[in-house]
Amino acid sequence: MKKQAGVFILSVISLLFAGYARAQSITLVNPVLSGFYPDPSIVQAGSDYYLVNSTFSYFPGIPVFHSKDLKNWKQIGNVIDRTSQLDFMGERMTRGLFAPAISYHNGTYYVTCTDIDHDGNFIVTAKNPAGPWSNPVRIPQVRGIDPSLYFDDNGKAYILYNSDAPDNKPLYSGHRTIRMYEFDPVNLKVTGEEKQLVNGGVDITKKPVWIEGPHIIKRNNWYYLYAAEGGTSVNHSEVVLRSNSVWGPYIPYEKNPILTQRDLPEDRKHPVTSAGHAQFVEGPDGKTYAVFLAVRPYAGDHYNTGRETFIAPVEWRDDWPVINPGSKEILYDYPANIKEAKQRNALPQSGNFSYTLRFNKKLDPTLLFMRKPDSTAFSLSQKNGLLLKLKPETIMDLGSPSFIGKRQQHIYSTAETQLMFTARTPNEKAGLIIFQSESHFYFLARSMAGNQEVVQLFKGIPEEKKMEMLAEIPLTGNTSKLGLRINSEGATYSFYYSVDSKNWSLLKEKVDAKFLSTKVAGGFVGCIYGMYATSSGEQTTNSASFRYLKYAGNDPMYR
């Protein structure tokens, strides 16, 4: 009997332990931030994690995400949320802010970044990562891109960055260096002399290109300098070097790169490509993880969702870090012995999901304006939802059109809105747009043709500041509340309308989505579903009301 009782007690303990282990385990689903969230940078502050991304010329700039488990992320603010901080007017959408890096030291959060066309490299600070953040302080001595801070354990701080070739005499196209200054984190100034840490990359005899996105960490008395190499397309990678001094010399790992997908078969199922631009962080389980950018193409090198934020475990081998050690391919999910910490009132960011944004109180922080919000051009109310005034500016101009958008976060997705609007002239148009650049977009609009109300579909004409009509259909009956819907289906988009937001009619199906891909349109951004209203160069007092924005994604890798 005593033996049986002992076996029973051990069985109960085993079951309890198994249940506890399950409660402490999660699955990290990639991308952890789906859609146009490139150039991730992450910092740990106690039990909290904060992550930022590039936003280029969209406003607000540099979203700040918070997590406690590296899985569930909630946007808590934006670093650039006041027009007095930076001005992106006159810039193309793919310019603006490149590659922010977030740091934390002695109760202060720091973000370094590059305003590529105007202010160059700058730094902002905050006591609370949700904001407010300070006005930018320029760092003119830091000439290049992708600055990041490193705080050593001896109290000293450094700023390192991508810069020109030695003496500004490149040996080949893409020849760059990594350089560093000592930094005064109180007065936000460089001190001492600039020093070159890396010339070209891991092996300059092989003509490596675009060494960028550098970071330094210290572990077991080694200083590790790790950075992206190979450019941000299919040859992207992450490499690492180390030294016993923060100033070098830095010796490369003989098994570099520590992350890349460039050598894998192109025909693999649900490929992840272009991986690099990584940063390490210690997880709640005490293990090292890397966040990095990568993309999910639907055909070849064509993708519309932009560069996304991924995560993978890091293994230390002979005092060298290796990202994603158990697989050549980046996986869509990784198990981790971390207790899940869900975020209240957070929009989902990974896997397949859906949500509805209603415009009756305030705009969700994930929504984007072009360059600069015009507070006189929009309002929110319980009755009208989002009211956009028609402005003469168009999305083909470099100004501030009446546009508010949300990232396309899936290869297969649906965006839908309900529009209340009556055009007075053919110049007046309002509706739903899928936008990649000033010349690469599709615009599903309500307008006028002669004296007839119509639904029209337009396509941007590259480099001409014009658009061509692809389809038009007259509206009849009660169309006071017009539903508009855009479906993304991998390599195509389809466009629908509804007079009751229940029964949908096809306007045009299977329009070429590759036209909006980064491969065709160029640049560094992803596609944005936007609510847009314009008077096409003319003055007007007319407005358009959008009741909601519904979004749903259904990608095959998660089914």
Active site amino acids? 39, 212
Measure the CA–CA gap between 93 and 80, rounded to whole angstroms: 16
Nearest to 455 by CA among 489, 504, 515: 504
Largest Cα–Cα distance in the chain?
A: 94
Q: How many CA atoms lie within 13 A of 118 on its CB side?
A: 15
Burial of 233 per CB tally in 10 Å (0-12, 13-18, 19+):
middle
The backbone region for 501, taken as left when phi is positive above 0, alpha when psi lies in -120 to 50, beta otherwise, is: left
Report the SS3 class of residue 16: helix
346 φ, ψ to 5°? -100, 135
Query: Whats the size of the chain, residue-wise?
Result: 559
Nearest to 277 by CA among 524, 526, 555: 524
Measure the CA–CA gap between 294 and 360, rounded to whole angstroms: 35
Structure tokens at 26: 């999660």
The backbone region for 15, taken as left when phi is positive above 0, alpha when psi lies in -120 to 50, beta otherwise, is: alpha
Nearest 5 degrees, angle CA 260-CA 264-CA 267? 135
3 φ, ψ to 5°? -65, -45
Contact of 461 with 439, CB cutoff 8 Å = yes
